[in-house]
């Protein structure tokens, strides 16, 4: 069916303008999120570094291995640098879509949509609670398994002058390239 007042060019122009406006707002959102992510990363690094420097030597550094400390700091900063901006951006987009869907349901739909939405939210909440417990444990196990590897590497870097003095570069290079971590007894096994 053809509309005499509006041609296809008008519809195409409006659609293009909407698409271009959406692209501009997405670009602004991404730029703002990544700028704030970098700002938060700088603040977190400054705060973590000052707290580590001010930590009591006999209580903190004797109990926490250097590998665990380096792994925790690097993983926290890596997560903040690479993932938080994307996740927060998705939260904003999905939150606005959810709000728009609720408004459409209020205007067009019936009231019976809301009891179903409450049931869906309750199911989602119980699944989220179970998932978060398992995910937290998996992240903890991954962090514990990485810590000795990072510790071994940092100790190798700290003792680099001794390694070079005794001409053991080849052995340490081989161990750093071909070691396997055994989580049952926390030893490094050299692979020939």
Are 179 and 190 in contact, with CB atoms under 8 Å apart?
A: yes
pLDDT for 183 equals 42
Instruction: Tell me which of 4 and 172 has the higher pLDDT.
Output: 172
pLDDT at 85: 81
Q: What is the pLDDT of residue 123?
A: 94
Query: What does pLDDT average to over the chain?
Result: 79
Q: Which residues neighbour 146 within 8 Å (Cβ) at sequence distance 6 or greater?
A: 67, 71, 75
Which residue's structure tokens are 């939405």? 117
Q: What is the pLDDT of residues 115-140, one digit of tens each?
A: 888 898 899 899 999 999 998 888 88
55-87 residue pLDDT tens: 777 777 777 777 777 777 877 788 777 788 888
Per-residue confidence (pLDDT) for residue 192, from 0 to 100: 44
Using CA atoms, how far apart are residues 73 and 154, in angstroms rounded to an integer?
Answer: 14
Res 126: pLDDT:
93
pLDDT tens for each residue of 96-108: 888 888 788 778 7
Percent of the chain with pLDDT over 70: 83
Phi and psi at 111, nearest 5°, equal -75, -20
Mean pLDDT of 146-150: 68
62 vs 95, higher pLDDT? 95
pLDDT on residue 114: 78
Of 74, 73, 88, 76, the C-alpha closest to 34 is 88
Residue 4 has pLDDT above 70, yes or no: no
pLDDT digits (tens, 9 = 90+) for 21-30: 988 988 898 8
32-61 mean pLDDT: 83
The reported pLDDT for the residue numbered 131 is 92
């Amino acid at each position: 069916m053809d509309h005499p007042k509006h041609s296809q060019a008008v519809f195409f122009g409006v659609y293009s303008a909407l698409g271009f406006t959406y692209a501009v707002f997405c670009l602004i959102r991404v730029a703002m999120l990544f700028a704030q992510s970098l700002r938060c990363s700088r603040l977190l690094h400054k705060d973590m570094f000052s707290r580590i420097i001010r930590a009591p030597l006999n209580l903190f550094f004797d109990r926490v291995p250097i590998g665990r400390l380096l792994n925790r700091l690097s993983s926290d900063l890596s997560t903040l640098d690479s993932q938080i901006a994307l996740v927060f951006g998705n939260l904003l987009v999905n939150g606005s879509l959810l709000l728009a869907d609720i408004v459409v349901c209020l205007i067009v739909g019936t009231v019976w949509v809301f009891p179903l939405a409450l049931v869906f939210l309750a199911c989602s909440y119980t699944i989220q609670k179970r998932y978060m417990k398992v995910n937290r444990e998996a992240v903890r196990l991954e962090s514990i398994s990485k810590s000795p590897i990072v510790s071994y590497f940092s100790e190798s870097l700290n003792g680099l002058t001794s390694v070079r003095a005794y001409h053991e570069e080849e052995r340490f290079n081989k161990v750093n390239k071909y070691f396997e971590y055994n989580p049952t007894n926390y030893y490094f096994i050299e692979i020939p």
